[in-house]
Amino acid sequence: MRIVKDKLRVVASLTAEEIEHIKILYPSKRRNLYFHHCYYQRKPNFFAVWLLPMKGYVYRHFNAMLSFNPANPPIEALEIFNMIEPERWKVSRLDVAFDFLTPYEDCFLLPPPTNIKINRYNTTLYYGAVRSVCTVCQYNKQKQLKEVLEVDSVPLTRIEFRLKPKLKPITQYEKKDFAKMEGFHFVSNTKEMTGLRCLLKSITNGKREWKTLGRKDKQEITAAVKDRTTDMLKLFLKYIEGDIDGFMFDGLTAPLIIDESYHQHAG
């Protein structure tokens, strides 16, 4: 198993000088309905930066937004991130991905005992409403790598927590900010679930739906899964050894020295 930050979107209130520096380095490439300046790069590694919102009253707490994948970060994004003190960046979205070396059809994700909305798109399962503070996505990562990047991979299943929290400095993250993981339990191999394997596989593969199961089936599955697994918050904390700061800043250090001329001018 591996756990990574798959997407990070942060916002900040930059000075006019800091904004101008970014605009010079990354000229606007496309029109945007919400920001005056927008730079978007898909290849070789995705990142995007938006500057100066058109409606200041809507985005009154910041004037810059940066989005990239910390698991595979482009140098450009890291240079922008490290251009200012880290405590000035506030998180507006954080995707935490759990990758399991298991075939998608042999796994099962138990949702928490709430009336959570569950939708299916092809083989992908979504837990939670689109606009909720946390949406969980369960999909066949091996299939995605093949279809999108034409990369052959070992069997790989991804559980992705897409967190959209209230704005909070990245330096102040703590255990409670990942509380939405609690209550989800992942079964990496349904073959170990004697007497329940066929039912669990049918739910993962779309032949049955969790919300339509009877109470007895749900209770039996819940008891068996909880008896054999730990919830994903505990799994996350164990993996990072309780070091939330280390997890949040992993991969965010710029490997190159930021433009000397900017620091000299800023000083």
Q: Which pLDDT does position 265 carry in this prediction? A: 44
Question: Which of helix, strand or coil describes residue 119?
Answer: strand
Q: Which residue has the higher pLDDT, 89 or 115?
A: 89
> Does position 258 have pLDDT exceeding 60, yes or no?
no
Cα–Cα distance for residue pair 254/82, rounded to 1 Å: 7
Tokens of 258: 């930021």
Q: Which pLDDT does position 137 carry in this prediction? A: 97
Q: Which pLDDT does position 58 carry in this prediction? A: 65
> Does position 256 have pLDDT exceeding 60, yes or no?
no
Number of neighbours of residue 92 by Cβ within 10 angstroms: 20
Q: Which residue has the higher pLDDT, 9 or 148?
A: 9
Residues 6+ apart with CB under 8 A from 112: 182, 183, 184
Alpha helices per DSSP H over the chain: 16-25, 75-81, 141-149, 197-204, 215-228, 232-239, 244-249, 260-266
Cα–Cα distance for residue pair 206/102, rounded to 1 Å: 18
> Does position 264 have pLDDT exceeding 50, yes or no?
no
Contact 57, 74 (CB under 8 A): no
With a pLDDT cut of 90, the percent of the chain lying above it is: 81
Banded model confidence at residue 30, pLDDT cuts 50, 70, 90: confident
pTM of the model: 0.91
Q: Give the least confident one: 12-16, 27-31, 161-165, 238-242.
A: 27-31
Q: Is the preceding peptide bond at 111 cis, omega within 30 degrees of 0?
A: no
Question: Which of helix, strand or coil describes residue 21?
Answer: helix
Q: Which pLDDT does position 255 carry in this prediction? A: 65
* pLDDT tens track for 121-148: 998 999 999 889 999 999 999 999 999 8
* pLDDT tens track for 146-193: 998 888 999 999 999 999 999 999 999 999 999 999 999 999 999 999
Question: Amino acid letter at 224?
Answer: A
- For the residues 110-129, what does the mean pLDDT come to? 92
> Does position 59 have pLDDT exceeding 80, yes or no?
no
